[in-house]
Amino acid sequence: MGASHSHRNKHCHSHQSPINICTKKARHDPILKPLNIQYDSKTSKRIVNMGHCFNVEFDDTADMSVINDGPLTGKYRLRQFHFHWGSTDADGSEHVIDGKVYPAELHIVHWNSHRYPTFEEAAKHPDGLAVIGVLLKIGEKNPVLQTIIDNLGQVKTKGKEHMLIKYELSSMLPKDLNYWTYPGSLTTEPYFECVTWIVLQHAIPISSAQLTQFRGLLCTAENEKPVPILENHRRVQRLHDRVARSSCT
Ligand SMILES: O=C(O)/C=C/c1cccc(OCc2cccc(CC(=O)O)c2)c1
Ligand SMILES: [Zn+2]
């Protein structure tokens, strides 16, 4: 078989996300650096109901809110964050840790402004995006999340957006930034295999009442019969030839 044929037959779906992370197989790689996160609250812009979730969008016209180091080469610019959740607290995360599912998951999306001119261009390359995944566990009410939840009423229907001024995203993160990392994909359309996943090993709390408010968002537009976004998480995908690495022993 000629090279071109084998190229054509190469899996182009072998690096899909999310995955089940087997922590025992995720070996510590000493080359991995601590994650460096520098978010400027002045870059927060608005919250938008996307139909299948809500995005909190940031001004990514310059390297103001960025991450670097960790498994990354160069700076990656903060673009948006969003959540995935389930129809009950028993389900909802996308990544699974040693078979354990969490009730929700936060995705903080960054793109490689070091190498590519735009987010859309970066999304066409394996080193184009870096997404920090943070697992959510049911616990006490989370005051930083409450600021977002207080605004959901303004974006109840698909396409609605509302300003969000000076949001301190860094205060939502755990103090412990140890992570697992592996090469993967977007977990929704268009599923591009362009993501360096950085899944934090420490979960953050959300109360059951707060999580219930996510499910009150509608995937329908204002003038349509209301349909709630009860769940929006993708099932785990095959690992194929990939290895997840840990930032710590
Ligand atoms: O034409 C379209 O509808 C889409 C175009 C497009 C073009 C390039 C990229 C891209 O990414 C969407 C995206 C961004 C960030 C995260 C996710 C998946 C998730 O929910 O975690 C999806 C979308
Ligand atoms: Zn996501």
**What ipTM was predicted for this assembly?**
0.91
CA of 46 to the centre of ligand 1 (A): 17
Amino acid at 44: S
Please answer whether residues 119 and 194 qualify as being in contact, where contact means their C-beta atoms are separated by less than 8 angstroms: no
Atom of ligand 1 nearest to the CA of 194: 9
Please answer whether residues 79 and 58 qualify as being in contact, where contact means their C-beta atoms are separated by less than 8 angstroms: yes
CA of 187 to the centre of ligand 2 (A): 6
Ligand having the closest approach to the CA of 130: 1
- Ligand 1, from 50, 55, 80, 186: best to mutate by most atoms within 8 Å of Cβ? 186
Atom of ligand 1 nearest to the CA of 53: 20
Q: What pLDDT does 12 receive? A: 76
Ligand having the closest approach to the CA of 185: 1
151: left (phi over 0), alpha (psi -120 to 50) or beta: alpha
Residue nearest to atom 13 of ligand 1 (CA): 186
Please answer whether residues 247 and 179 qualify as being in contact, where contact means their C-beta atoms are separated by less than 8 angstroms: yes
User: Which DSSP string corresponds to 112-141?
Assistant: -TTT-SSHHHHTTSTTSEEEEEEEEEE-S-
Residue nearest to atom 18 of ligand 1 (CA): 186
Which single residue is written with the structure tokens 């080193």? 127
Ligand having the closest approach to the CA of 105: 2
Atom of ligand 1 nearest to the CA of 82: 20
CA of 8 to the centre of ligand 1 (A): 24
CB-defined site of ligand 1, < 6 Å:
82, 107, 109, 120, 123, 186-188, 190, 192
Atom of ligand 1 nearest to the CA of 79: 15
Indicate which residue of 11, 13, 15, 52 is catalytic: 52
Distance of alpha carbon 146 from its chain centroid, rounded?
19
> 166-175 in b/e burial notation, b at 16+ Cβ within 10 A?
ebebeebbee
Q: pLDDT of the chain along its 249 residues, tens only?
A: 444 444 544 567 999 999 999 999 999 999 999 999 999 999 999 999 999 999 999 999 999 999 999 999 999 999 999 999 999 999 999 999 999 999 999 999 999 999 999 999 999 999 999 999 999 999 999 999 999 999 999 999 999 999 999 999 999 999 999 999 999 999 999 999 999 999 999 999 999 999 999 999 999 999 999 999 999 999 999 999 999 999 999
- What is the separation, in whole angstroms, between the first and last Cα of the chain? 43
Sign of CA dihedral 133, 172, 32, 76: positive
CA of 190 to the centre of ligand 1 (A): 6
| Diameter over CA atoms, the chain | 59
State how far the alpha carbon of 10 is from the alpha carbons of 15, 20, 121, 193, 244, in Å. 12, 23, 23, 14, 21
Gap between the Cα atoms of 241 and 66, Å rounded: 30
Q: What pLDDT does 11 receive? A: 60
Whether residue 52 lies in the annotated active site? yes
Which single residue is written with the structure tokens 């601590």? 34
Q: What pLDDT does 192 receive? A: 98
CA of 143 to the centre of ligand 1 (A): 29
Q: ∠ CA 101-77-159 to the nearest 5 degrees?
A: 70
